[in-house]
Each structure stands twice: as C-alpha cells, then as structure tokens.
Amino acid sequence: MTEEVILADKNNRKVGIEEKIKAHQEGKLHRAFSIFIFNSKKDLLIQQRAKTKYHSAGLWSNTVCSHPRPGETYQQAAHRRLKEEMGFDCKLKKVFCFIYKTDFQNSLIENEYDCVFTGKFDGKPKPNAQEIMDSKWVSIEELKQDIIKNSDKYSVWLKIALEKIKSNHIKEVTK
C-alpha cells in the first residue's frame, strides 16, 4: 500500500492528496504532527529514529512524529501513531502549529504544516523496533543543553518545536 499525505496551503486548508515520497521529493507543503509526551516529573519521552527511516534516520526526535492520512483528523492520526510507535495511548491536546521547510542530504525536502500535541504518561513505553532504535525520558533543560552541544544528533522539527513549547504547555499537561 502506498502511503499518502494531505497537501495543504499556508492556512492549513486541504489542497490535495499526494504520495508521501513524492511530496517529499517535490517539497510540497503537507500536514504533519509532532507529539511530545511528558511524565509527572516533566521529563520528555524522546525517540531515536530507526536507521531504516527515509530521512533523519538514527536521529533523536520527539516522542512521535508522522502524517495524518487522507480522511483522518489530526487527533485520530496522533492517537493511531502513538499506539503504533510507542505502544500506548493517552489524552492529547493540540497546543500550536507551525510551518517549516528543510532540505535533506538525500535530496528529500520536508515542507510541513506541523501541529504539536502534548500528553502525559507515567507508564513504560513499548517502542516498535521497526520505527524506533531507542527511547528515553529526558528533562527539557538537559535536552536543550545537549542540542546546543550536539545539534546534528537531533531532528530539525524537534529543535524548532522545542523552542516553541512554553513552560505553561508542560505545566498544564503534567498537573
């Protein structure tokens, strides 16, 4: 089955559907989401992307990131992928959206209307080994310091979204 993404304009209005790889080859703006799961200690669950990913393979990123499928809402897609990648589900809240565009060394272009969700989970994740090489809980401060020292170990969208997540987003979800 060929995966498809929802193409969008800069106001997130649907303008079409495209094969996922073609959208990334041609740099077409499309819908995406990023999930940031915190525990009660306000630590963030991050993942190291599998080496088989078509871009950003082996990089550390937020808890889950993916694309809604045609006919699927952001909420439906976020819950689906959280279960598929991390083996659990929890309440999610959309906190903001942003657009970013970046070119990768393999000639793919990420051009996404990315909506960020936060959630709280205090259990033990069960990462899907086909999607994730490793995962760990980390404090935001520790993560920000390591990004300064080792920027090339982290996904582009994690670095952008992390700068936009406010302490009140974290406090609200972890209370």
Bridge partners (DSSP) of residue 30 are 7, 112
Tokens 């982290």 belong to 154
Handedness of CA 144, 149, 150, 156 (dihedral sign): positive
State the catalytic residues.
65, 112
Picking from 138, 170, 109, 124, the residue whose alpha carbon sits closest to that of residue 48 is 138
- Cβ neighbours around 27 below 10 Å, total: 14
